[in-house]
Chains A and B, each alone.
Chain A
Amino acid sequence: MSSLAAPGPASASLAAGIEGTARRVSQRTWWRLLLRDWPSVVALLVLLLIALAAIFAPFLTAIDPLTTNTRVKAEPLFTPGYPLGTDQLGRDIWSRLLYGARLTLTVGIAGAAVSAAVGLLIGLIAGYFGGWVDAVTMRGLDVLLSFPDILLAVVIVAILGPSLQNALIAVAILGVPFYVRLIRADVLRLRQSDFVTSARTIGASNRRIIAAHILPNVIAPIIVTASIHVGYLILSAAGLSFVGLGAQPPSPEWGAMVSSGRDYLLIAPHVVLVPAAAIFVVVLAFNIVGDGLRDALDPKAR
């Protein structure tokens, strides 16, 4: 399989992000282009609101997300004092949602940062030095990619033990091959470019060529890929929590909230559907911003 892509809806759009950034726009205009795309603006605002709500969670609710209250079990939406109702243990869903947003956003952003950093390092080394280093790296990635999607994450969690932190590590590892392939391909191209040849001719060291000439040219595609990757990470981590391999109860992580409310699905569907909708909205917003960024950075796509 020679394609850049790997299984999964989000990873297919990841691959699209990788291909889409072959051409660049000057650094000053891309954000103007992004702000001209109204879905991206709306999505950015939504993300900003959610991030603020996560940061200022203690000011938006007085109720502790973990405190159970047997007198208000599974109250419906819009109950006075509980705008989103309560779950089967009488915990306030609004409060859990706010505190859970911290976990969800952290997983998405930290996961993308870790994947990107590791992928950048490996991709730079493999692409720049080539030869057997490159061959061994790419073979290793092929093995990683021969496990379907979330199954690899499941196995990694099996080794490390179920927890949100380990789920994060697992989904971050899952993302590394995309960055490596993206960066390696770019580095291979840049290595042949005139400015790198010139730098080498005047005696620049490998370190200087990588830092001053290659790195600045691979940053934009990394940012685009990462922005699309965040949604994918959030989905995967929530999925792991849902099957009991990620965040453990009573954590208000959204996937874990869906999981813990499952047994009451038919009696109190909002306990499950509210956090599920929250995951959907955040992932949707990240994907829209990611697509917008890709279009803004790639004039060919318009």
Chain B
Amino acid sequence: MTRYLIGRIAQVIPTALLVSVVVFLMLHMAPGDPVAVILSAKAVAYTEDDVIALREQLGLDKPLIAQYLAWVGNAVRGDLGTSLYLRRDIRPLLFERLGATAILAAGALLFALPVGIIGGVVSSLLKGTIWDRLINAVIVMGVAVPVFALGLFFIVIFGAYLRWLPVSGMVSAGGGDFVDRVKHLILPAVALGVGPAAILARLTRSSMLEVQNEDYVRTARAKGLKEGVVTWRHTFRNVLIPVTTVIGLQVGFLLGGAVLIEVVFGWPGMGSLIINGILQRDFPVVQAGVLAVALCYVFVNLAVDVLYAVIDPRIRYGA
């Protein structure tokens, strides 16, 4: 186990480094000179000398490799630079936004996990009935619905028409208690969670049906175990492996899909930070934001792989 863990964790380092190189290069290929952006933001006429001075100050006159090393070195020490647009230190900004996105993604998972898994198990147990078909129809629709459209639909129905829940931001103006925050979370989290719930339900259903035909399930049934025990201990436990994989992948989708949902609900998370950064050509923010999200994703994948090893002994012994 320890050996597997060390090996798997060691893989993270080259991946993280490659990701940082890609992020760095990507934004250096982007059009628009950051120096011009900064200077024109000051709304005063500037000269060629100002450009050269700022270039030196930002280290943009150095070779690309030196720039990369300086950027990574600073990033590792926690210095992510300053936002060109918001005129703020990026690090506190990033932590605020990461926290908001994490809450949103966690809320979505909290919805998607039980709904998806229970839906899939129920549908597999009722295979061939009208309920199974109904659940399947919902699954097919859940995969096809654009996440941003679902969010807007929720705003119209639950926000404007029924007036049940708030539809914008994380908290009421002037601050609110825990209940207020939960209320703000419900609509964006459910809208974001529908797609992953559908995927999970589909996978749980097909895995359950597959495992039900295994010899050990037949044996369990043959030796007279109760149906509930067969379902949960023999079938469902073995369904957990593919389900865990998909949950890990869905976290990636949640981080990505959050981009759209954050825009719909005015949620102050990473997604809206990155999108606004791009639209405002605020490249230090985009760079730091993309790096942060990509690294989170790398670590989520690591966590999923470690979880596998815990769930399934075959994996840790490399069988």
Residue numbers of A with Cβ under 8 A of B are 1, 3, 5-13, 139, 142-143, 146-151, 154-159, 161-162, 231, 235, 238-239, 242-245, 255, 258, 262, 265-266, 269, 272-273, 276-277, 279-280, 283-284, 287-288, 291
Contacts and interface: CB of A to CB of B under 8 A. Distances in A.
B31 A161 contact: yes
A280 B257 contact: no
B257 A154 contact: no
A150 B145 contact: no
A279 B248 contact: no
A3 B244 CA distance: 12
Contacts of A147: 19, 290, 293-294, 297
B55 to A, nearest CB: 21
B250 interface: yes
B15 A276 contact: no
B5 interface: no
Interface of B: 15, 18-19, 22-23, 26-27, 29-31, 140-149, 152-153, 155-156, 160, 195-196, 198-199, 202-203, 245-246, 248-253, 255-257, 259-260, 263, 274-275, 278-279, 286, 290, 293-294, 297-298, 301, 304-305
23 contacts: A1-B248, A6-B252, A7-B253, A9-B142, A11-B249, A13-B202, A143-B19, A148-B251, A149-B257, A150-B257, A151-B256, A151-B274, A155-B27, A155-B286, A235-B146, A243-B259, A245-B279, A258-B148, A266-B160, A273-B153, A276-B146, A277-B149, A284-B141
A5 B196 contact: no
A289 to B, nearest CB: 12
Contacts of A155: 23, 26-27, 286, 290
A72 B275 CA distance: 33
Nearest to B298: A146
Nearest to B255: A148
Nearest to A277: B149
Nearest to B279: A244
A143 B278 contact: no
Contacts of B141: 280, 284
A280 B145 contact: yes
B252 A243 contact: no
5 closest A-B pairs by beta carbon, nearest first, are A7-B252, A149-B256, A276-B149, A148-B252, A284-B144
A143, A147, A157, A280, most chain B CB atoms within 10 A? A147
A262 B148 CA distance: 11
Given A13-B202, A148-B294, A151-B294, 11 more contacts: A1-B304, A5-B245, A9-B198, A154-B259, A155-B286, A158-B30, A239-B148, A245-B278, A258-B149, A276-B149, A283-B145
B116 to A, nearest CB: 11
A181 B203 CA distance: 21
A283 B252 CA distance: 21
B15 A239 contact: no
A159 B253 contact: no
B54 to A, nearest CB: 22
A272 B156 CA distance: 10
B84 to A, nearest CB: 14
Contacts of B148: 238-239, 242-243, 255, 258, 276
B249 A287 contact: no
Nearest to B29: A159
Nearest to B248: A1
B259 A151 contact: yes
A48 B161 CA distance: 36
B246 A279 contact: no
A7 B148 CA distance: 17
A168 to B, nearest CB: 17
B203 to A, nearest CB: 7
Contact of B293 (A8, A9, A151, A162): A151
A287 B156 CA distance: 27
Given A148-B255, A287-B140, A280 B26 contact: no
A157 B30 CA distance: 9
A154 to B, nearest CB: 6
B160 A10 contact: no
Contact of B263 (A6, A238, A243): A243
B274 A242 contact: no
B286 A158 contact: yes
Contact of B199 (A9, A142, A243): A9
A238 B152 contact: no
Contacts of B18: 139, 143, 146
Given A3-B249, A7-B250, A151-B293, A239 B19 contact: no
Given A6-B252, A154-B278, A143 B146 contact: no
B252 A8 contact: yes
Contact of B152 (A150, A154, A258, A283): A258
Contacts of B246: 5, 12
B156 A280 contact: no
A154 B13 CA distance: 24
Contacts of A8: 195, 249, 252-253, 256-257
Given A149-B252, A154-B274, A157-B278, A142 B143 contact: no
Contacts of A162: 278-279
Contacts of A11: 249, 253
A162, A243, A262, A287, most chain B CB atoms within 10 A? A243
B294 A287 contact: no
A288 B250 CA distance: 21
Given A148-B294, A245-B278, A283 B144 contact: yes
A243 B275 contact: yes
Given A244-B275, A244-B279, A280-B144, A239 B253 contact: no
